[in-house]
Copies of this chain bind each other. A is one copy, B any other.
C-alpha cells in the first residue's frame, strides 16, 4: 500500500470546491446568482474574509463576477476562453512553451479545421467565404491592419463551418498568441507587401479546395501556408518537428 503526502486543505479552498462542483454539475447555470457574501458566510460557516478569498479565486478563474452594491449577489459567468488565453500566454512568455510547439499545434488545428470545413460547409458558407476573399483582396491595399482583420474574418467562417466549438476557440487562442509573439517582427518587415500577396495566394488555393470539397488538399495547403509564412521564426534545429505535418516531406 502506498500513501500520498497530504497538504492541509484551506477553508477557502473548500468553499471554492463546492461552488465549482455546483457549476460543473449544472446545479448552477450561467446567469444565475450566488447568495450574498453575508449569506454565504452563514451557509458555509466561515468568516467573511474566507468567503471573499474564495470569491476572488472564483472570479480570477472566470467563474463569477461581482459588483459592489448589487443585492442579487455574484453572477455565474458562462465558460469563456479568456482564461485559456491567459494561461497559454503565460507559458509562452515564460518560454516553457516554444514558438515551435505553438506553430505545430496551429498547423494541426487549422489543417483539421479546413479538412472538416471542406466536407461540412454549406453553399451559403461558401458564398460567405467568397465575399471574405474579396474583402481581403482590397484590404491588402489598405494596409497591414485591415488585411489582418479580413484574414481573421475568413478564419472565423472556416471555424464556424466545422461546427466544433473547441476547434474554433483553440484556433482563435493559438492564432492570437502566435501573432502576439511575432507581430512586431512581422509588421516591421520591409517585405510586408510580398508577405501579404503570398498569404493571399495561399488563401485562394485553399478556398478552391474547400469549394470542390477536397478536404485532404485543403488541409495540406493550409499547413503548408502556415509553415511557409512562419518557419523563418523557428530555430533551424526545431523545423523537423513541423515536417510530419506537411504530409509530403520524408
Contacts and interface: CB of A to CB of B under 8 A. Distances in A.
B97 A165 contact: yes
A91 interface: yes
A148 B30 CA distance: 34
Contacts of A59: 57
Chain A's interface: helix, strand, loop or mixed, by majority? helix
B96 A80 contact: yes
A90 to B, nearest CB: 6
A160 interface: no
Interface residues of A, number: 58
A165 B84 contact: no
A24 B56 CA distance: 22
A108 interface: yes
A69 to B, nearest CB: 11
Contacts of A118: 244
B78 A94 contact: yes
A226 to B, nearest CB: 14
Interface in A79-109: 79-81, 83-84, 86-88, 90-97, 101-102, 104-105, 108-109
Interface of A: 12, 24, 26, 29, 49, 52-53, 56-57, 59-63, 78-81, 83-84, 86-88, 90-97, 101-102, 104-105, 108-109, 112, 115-116, 118-120, 163-167, 169-170, 174, 215-216, 241, 243-245, 247
